[in-house]
A and B are shown apart, each in its own frame.
Chain A
Amino acid sequence: RKEVEQDPGPFNVPEGATVAFNCTYSNSASQSFFWYRQDCRKEPKLLMSVYSSGNEDGRFTAQLNRASQYISLLIRDSKLSDSATYLCVVNKNTPLVFGKGTRLSVIA
């Protein structure tokens, strides 16, 4: 089983749509959780950390379920500029473990 698994997509959604991505991780000792965003041929950029209580940043909401080892990201009112690959990332001690990413295309 891969350490971090994501549906690769692509998710093709119209502007204004709500879209949700899911991610599962295998190491129950993982301590920190993040969503990163990566544009084509660019570096990953931190989108948000994910906390057990769930957290929101504008149009983005992240949830963590430690019992099920499951992380989600919800994007509301999608913009064209949200088109990117979204990387689910977990951390036990220090090296980050990346999922392969879920590709999102927001269409006008």
Chain B
Amino acid sequence: NAGVMQNPRHLVRRRGQEARLRCSPMKGHSHVYWYRQLPEEGLKFMVYLQKENIIDESGMPKERFSAEFPKEGPSILRIQQVVRGDSAAYFCASTPESNQPQHFGDGTRLSIL
């Protein structure tokens, strides 16, 4: 029973490029959460999705960031026109229902040159 799968593990982009981060939740889980962790900081909530719907995006910057969780396929966190400050570890978590303990993927470490 595979856990939460994130890819890529590491992603390097130049300023101005686009970054796409993927997350496949655990089998049977339809709730997906994205968090960002800056160096030496705690995890910060970005967005919560449930199949095809964004439930809460209060933690996501209004510009350049978007997220989706299509009916088929993984959840995607998309960052357009990346800047140096986007360099961070991005973690995805999933649950079968809301308010359950969240299980995290290995994360994607994004580096912006």
Seen from chain A, the residues whose Cβ lies within 8 Å of a Cβ on chain B are 4, 31-32, 34, 41-46, 49, 87, 91, 93-101
Contact = CB atoms under 8 A, between A and B. Distances in A.
A70 to B, nearest CB: 18
B41 A100 contact: yes
Given A31-B99, A95-B48, 14 more contacts: A41-B89, A41-B109, A42-B107, A43-B104, A43-B106, A45-B104, A95-B56, A96-B45, A96-B93, A98-B35, A98-B42, A99-B42, A100-B41, A101-B42
Interface string B31-45: 101010000011111
A41 B9 CA distance: 11
B45 A97 contact: yes
Instruction: Give the secondary structure class of B's interface.
Output: strand
Given A34-B101, A43-B106, A44-B104, A87 B42 contact: yes
Contacts, number: 54
Contact of B43 (A34, A46, A98): A98
Interface residues of B, number: 26
Contacts of A44: 43, 91, 104
Contacts of B56: 94-95
A40 to B, nearest CB: 11
B103 A46 contact: yes
Interface in B88-113: 89, 91, 93, 98-99, 101-107, 109
